[in-house]
Amino acid sequence: MRLGVLDIGSNTGHLLVVDAYRGAPPLPAFAHKEPLRLAEHLDASGAVDATGVSRLVTFVQEAGRVAEDKGCAEVVAFATSAVRDATNADDVLRRVREESGVEIEVLPGADEARLTFLAVRRWFGWSSGRLGVFDIGGGSLEIATGSDESPDVEQSLPLGAGRLTREWFGNGGDVEEQVRGLRRHVRTQIANDAGAMMRGGGFDHAVATSKTFRSLARLCGAPPSSEGSYVRRSLKAESLRECLQTLPGLSVEQIAELPGVSPNRAHQLVAGAVVADAVMDLFNVDELEICPWALREGVLLERLDSM
C-alpha cells in the first residue's frame, strides 16, 4: 500500500511517500519538502503571519498534487509545535483545509514524543532495553523514556532550535553573552523535569533523532548520509563540547559550509548545539546513537498498526 505522510514542522514541510505493509518496514519511495520556517513567521501576538500562512497553503497544495501523482492511497497530515502554539492555529488550519482540501491534525507535544519513541523502538528493537529518546525540533524538544513500545514518561519542552534562535539571537548583541544566557535558560527548563525521566533508572540505550542531532553528529565526525541508513552514527558529548567552543564565533555563512549542515538550518545550529549539550550533560549521557527514523515513521507505524 502506498501512503503519504505530510509533516508540517516548525522548520520544514515534508511529504514522505512510502510503500508500507503491516509487519514490514515502510520503504521510502519519494520525498518532497520545503523550508517553511513557520517558527520564524510568528508576529508579536504569537500568530502565524500572512507570509507564513501563504507559504504553508502553497506547500500543502503542492504536496497534495505530488501525493496524487505518486499514487498515494492515503495521506496522513499532521502539524507540530509552530502550528500547535500559534494563537491563530484554528484559522490557519481552516484556511489550509478550504484552499487545499487537506485536513491537518495538530499533534500534542506528548504525542510527538510518544510516536518518535515508537519509531526508535521499532528501529532498534527490544535488545535496546530501557530507551532514552531525544528529539530537537524547530519549536520544541521531545524527550521520552521507557522499556516498552510506549514510553513510561514523555515530555515536550519549548526548546526547539528555531524558537530559541528567534528569542535569543539576531538582535545585534554580544554573542558570547547571548549563548551564556541561553545555556542557563535551557538547562533550567530541562532540569525542572529531569527527575521524572530518571525515576525508573538510567538508559540502557540513549538515542537522538531528527535533523539537528544528525547535523551535529556529522559535524563531529559521523559518517555522511551517502553511506546509507544502516551505518552506525553517534554524537559524543566530548566532541560536542569541543564544537561548542568554536561554533558561536562563526558566521551563518561559515556554519553552512560545515559538513552535514543544510544552508536553511545553519542559523539555528548554535541554539541546537546548546540544547544537545544540556541534554547530554543533565542526563549523564556520554554518547547518543542517531536513529534514522523519527516522528514521520512513528505516525506511519501507528497507522499501519491500526489497519
**DSSP structural state of residue 222:** P
In the chain, domain spans: 2-106, 109-295
User: 194 exposed, middle or buried (CB, 10 Å; 0-12, 13-18, 19+)?
Assistant: middle
> Would you say residue 231 has pLDDT above 90?
yes
Q: What is the mean pLDDT of the chain?
A: 95
pLDDT at 307: 79
The percent of residues in the chain predicted with pLDDT above 90, rounded, is: 88
- Which 3-state string (H, E, C) describes 146-161? ECCCCCCEEEEECCCH
pLDDT at 306: 87
pLDDT at 93: 97
> Would you say residue 145 has pLDDT above 90?
yes
Does the fold of domain 109-295 match that of domain 2-106? yes
> What is the mean predicted confidence (pLDDT) over 88-116?
97
> What is the mean predicted confidence (pLDDT) over 132-146?
96
**Pairing state between β 12-19 and 2-8:** antiparallel
pLDDT at 200: 74
> What is the mean predicted confidence (pLDDT) over 160-166?
93
pLDDT at 3: 95
Fold of 2-106: Nucleotidyltransferase; domain 5 (3.30.420)
Tens digit of pLDDT for each residue in 66-98? 999 999 999 999 999 999 999 999 999 999 999
pLDDT at 199: 84
Q: Rounded CA gap, 233 and 144, in Å?
A: 20
pLDDT at 219: 96
Instruction: Single out the residue of 296, 284, 212 nearest to residue 255, CA to CA.
Output: 212
Q: List strand residue ranges (DSSP E) for 129-247, in order.
A: 131-136, 141-146, 153-157, 205-209, 234-236
pLDDT at 206: 98
H-helix or E-strand containing 29?
Answer: strand 27-35
Name the 3-class secondary structure at 212: helix
Single-letter residue type at 10: S
Backbone phi, psi, residue 165, to 5° = -60, -45
> Would you say residue 202 has pLDDT above 90?
no
Report residue 193's pLDDT band, with 50, 70 and 90 as the boundaries.
confident
- Classify 109-295 by CATH class: alpha beta
Instruction: Single out the residue of 41, 36, 78, 71 nearest to residue 55, CA to CA.
Output: 36
pLDDT at 171: 75
> Would you say residue 24 has pLDDT above 90?
no
> What is the mean predicted confidence (pLDDT) over 170-183?
90
Q: What is the dihedral of CA 116, 117, 122, 125, to 10 degrees?
A: 150
pLDDT at 39: 83
Report residue 287's pLDDT band, with 50, 70 and 90 as the boundaries.
very high
Q: Rounded CA gap, 87 and 97, in Å?
A: 18
> What is the mean predicted confidence (pLDDT) over 157-176?
90
pLDDT at 22: 74
Written as nine digits, the cell of 268 is 539555528
Q: pTM of the entire structure?
A: 0.95
pLDDT at 106: 96
**Who's near 88: CB < 8 A, 6+ residues apart?**
47, 48
Report residue 21's pLDDT band, with 50, 70 and 90 as the boundaries.
confident
Tens digit of pLDDT for each residue in 31-71? 999 999 898 888 989 999 999 999 999 999 999 999 999 99
Written as nine digits, the cell of 81 is 509545535
pLDDT at 2: 95
